A and B are shown apart, each in its own frame.
Chain A
């Protein structure tokens, strides 16, 4: 097995060369069958010609809980990323996942949790809270550094791609079927990919009206 460090070195050299000379950007435009944009989709590309090493960020990524919801709803991270779950509510939460990519739980806590979870396997991870059934969020663990999340307009820009062949994929918590295609990044520059995404119905639990809300006091 080649030394990871050497791969990283090669990649960095290549990346910096491309970055200097010709770094491409893929604009992914998601549309559902009705033509509406699909937010919270993770668009990512896998290099087909060479292996690209991923480096988790130095600082942990935060998925906060406030107003008894996870924020953000979808968090794409690379393998090895550390995630913290700060609780900004005045009630305790009990964050857990039983997904094969990462099974964990952080027993009841409030405030800044000391627990840092390392997402060390690629794949979707569904987060829940044992106290609040409606709370749901997703961590999508990637083995590629080239990814972006669609905004409200349904577009995501994956930047800094060296020229070459890639496999473009889109993931969404309610994705009905796999969406993927091969794309080629040329030295000349950017490309736009329109991807049709079919989603399953949203079956998230409707949150119960908060009887204790300040609005009613």
Chain B
């Protein structure tokens, strides 16, 4: 504990890993998608708002200028009016007449306040009303400006009255009265209110919230606003005189463009704030984002559902393969894996099945070899891959054949014949193997055995002779058993010959048998035949070549030369009586 470092989580189930992988990938892709769209939407909304704020600012300037230009035009018409000149024909115009005349003009022009100033800026008269005489100061300041320019007029923003509470924002304009042009005999001052109506109209045209601020120094207060009064008051006053920033208004984010009202004639500072709610602008995008979120969750759910199915689809056959491997390991080559698919897993299953078949085949072959050939031949066959090349070598061939067995078998049921024969073969074959020989084949009731092939062995002749003697003893024991069982005795003859013969796989390409061919084989068979000759009175006959090859000492009876079928020369025959 504690010694292991951090390691990646290990999953016992492939499905869990696949689920996490797919769900993770889907989540990452969708999450990135969602975040990107959200970010892009926000950037777009901000850009749109910024653009409309720029347009709104331009629109405000244009509206003020257009209104003042229109008023300027009307004032020019007024200044050319005959009746206004009548006022100036008097040495001292009557103040009440001037006021009522100006009131008429202000109604005609649609402005709440008008003033008439002498060329040097002294008050001749005004409309009075809401604005006291102190309000003239900003107009006098504008006259000073107008005097200096080619087209003698001037405009600017002002709070009227400049001092005290309750001041309102106005755009002011002074234009000259000519009598005639270019002689300026007086100035007309006009005040265009920047009031709630103005703000509302601007809002309806620009689709922006409009707030006007006025203040001395840093203490800016909203004086007009299209926002709820509380919201305008709660909205942070402009911390900059000009620029675009996002401010909180009543819990919402408003992108706000501040622009100072310039020139401002009265002391202090004034600015317009144009605003649009970021939330409202983002509302259409939010719908898309909600849709994306639903899509995100849906695809995550789909991934969570599909991944296990997919994982099972992969892990089930893998588990089946694992189980199948266990079955094969247990030695069962007969069962087959049934996977109904053509992909790599299907191919793997097919390969597994082929492997099972291959193993079963090999097993069967080995089994057959074990049963049908001697273990040495089987081992050599398996070792050399069944392609035993022919080779010439010296071997001792032994033939042992039951005498009168055909006659015996006719008096017995076939099953008993076979049982008896196998019992006899079992004993004899065992002895062959004990003496390192192999049973080459069974020919009816005869056995052909080889000594010195396929594995070379120095004492093959001795082994054959000893095996023959042992067989004789074994037959005696078997006969004792058979007598006890009440059956007839068996007798056999053995022929042994040592010769150079050809050993190897003999047969067609489909069926091969390891065997030996050559004249020496025939000689052994003929010697066995000779045991039937009554004059020899011998059960074991060997050739001279066998005796020459043998190193052991045996009791031998020389039977002289005997003619052998298939050979021109007679063969020297010896009877083996026993060992010395």
> Hey, which bits of chain A sit against chain B, CB under 8 A?
94, 96-99, 103-105, 126, 128-130, 133-136, 174, 201-205
Contact = CB atoms under 8 A, between A and B. Distances in A.
B185 interface: yes
Interface of B is mostly: loop
B80 interface: yes
B183 A126 contact: yes
B180 A136 contact: yes
Contact of B182 (A96, A105, A135, A204): A204
Closest 7 interchain pairs by CB?
A128-B180, A203-B182, A98-B88, A126-B183, A98-B179, A136-B180, A130-B82
A205 B89 contact: no
Nearest to B186: A98
Given A96-B85, A133-B80, A201-B150, A126 B91 contact: no
A205 B79 CA distance: 14
B82 A136 contact: no
Contact of B180 (A103, A133, A174): A133
B150 A204 contact: no
B181 interface: yes
Contacts of A202: 182
A104 B179 CA distance: 12
A205 B182 CA distance: 8
A5 to B, nearest CB: 31
Contacts of A174: 182
Contacts of A128: 179-180, 183
Contact of A98 (B85, B181, B182): B85
Given A98-B185, A133-B80, A126 B88 contact: no
B150 A136 contact: no
Q: Is the interface of A mostly helix, strand, loop or mixed?
A: strand
B398 to A, nearest CB: 152
Interface in B176-200: 179-183, 185
22 contacts: A96-B85, A96-B179, A98-B85, A98-B185, A103-B88, A104-B89, A126-B179, A128-B180, A128-B183, A130-B85, A133-B80, A133-B181, A134-B180, A136-B180, A136-B182, A136-B183, A202-B182, A203-B181, A203-B182, A204-B181, A204-B182, A205-B181
Contacts of A126: 179-180, 183
Question: Most chain-A CB neighbours within 10 Å: which of B179, B180, B181?
Answer: B180
Contact of B89 (A96, A129, A136, A204): A96
Interface in B189-222: none
The listed residue with most B CB atoms (<10 A of its CB), out of A98, A104, A126, A129, is: A98
A133 B182 CA distance: 10
Contacts of A130: 82, 85
Contacts of A103: 88-91
Contacts of A133: 80, 180-181
Contacts of B181: 133-134, 136, 203-205
Contacts of A105: 89
B30 to A, nearest CB: 73
B53 to A, nearest CB: 40
A105 B180 CA distance: 13
Contacts of A98: 85, 88-89, 179, 185
A205 B85 CA distance: 18
Given A104-B89, A202-B182, 12 more contacts: A96-B85, A97-B179, A98-B88, A98-B179, A128-B180, A129-B180, A133-B80, A133-B180, A203-B182, A204-B181, A204-B182, A205-B181
